[in-house]
Structure 1
Amino acid sequence: MRDHGTSGVSPGVVAAVERLMRRVEDFPVAGVQFCDLTPVLADPEGFDAVVAGLAAGHEIGSVDYVAGLDARGFLLAGAVALRLQTGVLAIRKAGKLPPPVHSRSYELEYGAATLELPADGLDLSGTRILVVDDVLATGGTLGAAVGLLDDCGAVVTGLSVVLEVPGLGGRDRLSGTPLTCLTVA
């Protein structure tokens, strides 16, 4: 399942996401279809299927941490970390952690943002990390997370997301890092 697409993803996972996901037209702006994963996460069977899909291909002991991106990625990463019997890292938006922090700024389609990790009390040098998030769109946030972890000396062994929005270049921006997407928008 650690591939550059959805091949090998359980049809049950795809069916659960498609059945439960809410699609909202013209949100957050006109012309955009928002894919709301909240109903998937609220459904016990749907949530379990998604967590199993995100963890698939990663054996217990294959990663030292599962990192989740602020904020829905926290929910997913915590559950995947439990399944893989490892620790979880919360990669935070700027200003949510006390200093000192490691930070990485990046451009969004509508501005700029920064991700942070604590600089004290957590040595990530040489650790193997699986990064988990809900959606891959342009790849800016996931790319910044990979860069931030690299700056901290960690090795990102893979990226797992629930949903990919095709045509926005996210996959291309992340080439070189194993990527698993459970389904596409």
Structure 2
Amino acid sequence: MSTYRDEDPRIHGIKTKIRVVPNFPKQGIMFQDITTLLLDPKAFKDTIDLFVERYKGKNISVVAGIEARGFIFGPPIALAIGAKFVPLRKPRKLPGEVISEEYILEYGRDCLEMHVGAVEPGERALVVDDLIATGGTLCAAMNLLERVGAEVIECACVIELPELKGRLLLSMWYIYGVMLKTGS
């Protein structure tokens, strides 16, 4: 299991730029707001650079970004490592023929969709999102990619919420890179 720890001096700078918003979007949630990270060009670049350093030279041909914050981090990573970017979107957001994967959240059900033909069998894929919570969304993304024959190499996320134990769900099948931990 690969995890970035605090050894890299850039990590501290990135952590200080993530704002925690209490009780958003509902009571009891400590929302991890990456928009404040995006306001700092150095911290944002350091975030992308850490991922690029990890994935350069791993023959990844697809970076699949989960809507919506995976769209922020995924494209610059894809460009830097020479991979294509494939958006994984909520239902009815992509024109044309799509393949879907439904999944269960702690508060209901949701679905991710991807264009048919965007990913070919045998391609090596990286899944990108802003955080790992319960792991359900990341598992759905991996299932979607594997259904079309891709090999998912890792999931790359900026933040992990360890108290929600998403790592346990994901570690049964995948090695993945997480940069920052928050909470307990």
The TM-score with structure 2 as length reference comes to: 0.92
Question: In the alignment, which of 126, 135, 144 is matched to residue 131 of structure 2?
Answer: 135
Question: In the alignment, which of 129, 142, 162 is matched to residue 146 of structure 1?
Answer: 142
The reply on whether 1:172 has 2:168 as its aligned counterpart is yes
Q: Is the 8 A contact 2:123 2:151 kept in 1?
A: yes
Equivalenced residue count is 181
In structure 2, the partner of 1:37 is 34
Give, in whole Å, the separation in 2 of the partners of 1:9 and 1:83. 23
State the one-letter code of the partner of 1:139: G
Please give the per-residue CA displacement for 1:65-110, whole angstroms capped at 9, x wherever unaligned: 1111001101100010111022111111111113421110000111
Please give the per-residue CA displacement for 1:7-53, whole angstroms capped at 9, x wherever unaligned: 376231x2122211111111112121111011112211111111112
CA displacement at 1:177 relative to structure 2: 1.2
Give, in whole Å, the separation in 1 of the partners of 2:72 and 2:97. 25
In structure 1, the partner of 2:155 is 159
Identical pairs, percent = 36
The reply on whether 1:88 has 2:85 as its aligned counterpart is yes
| Structure 1 segments of 4+ aligned residues over 4 angstroms from their partners | none
RMSD over aligned CA atoms reads 1.5
Give the alignment of 1:17-166 within 5 angstroms: 17-60=14-57, 62-119=59-116, 121-166=117-162
Higher alpha-carbon deviation: 155-164 or 15-24? 15-24
The reply on whether 1:5 has 2:19 as its aligned counterpart is no
CA displacement at 1:122 relative to structure 2: 2.8
Q: Is the 8 A contact 2:132 2:161 kept in 1?
A: yes
* Structure 1 gap ranges (5+): none
Give, in whole Å, the separation in 2 of the partners of 1:9 and 1:108. 33
* Structure 2 gap ranges (5+): none
Give, in whole Å, the separation in 1 of the partners of 2:109 and 2:96. 21
Give, in whole Å, the separation in 1 of the partners of 2:20 and 2:8. 22
CA displacement at 1:165 relative to structure 2: 0.4
Give, in whole Å, the separation in 2 of the partners of 1:169 and 1:129. 23
Give, in whole Å, the separation in 1 of the partners of 2:7 and 2:94. 36
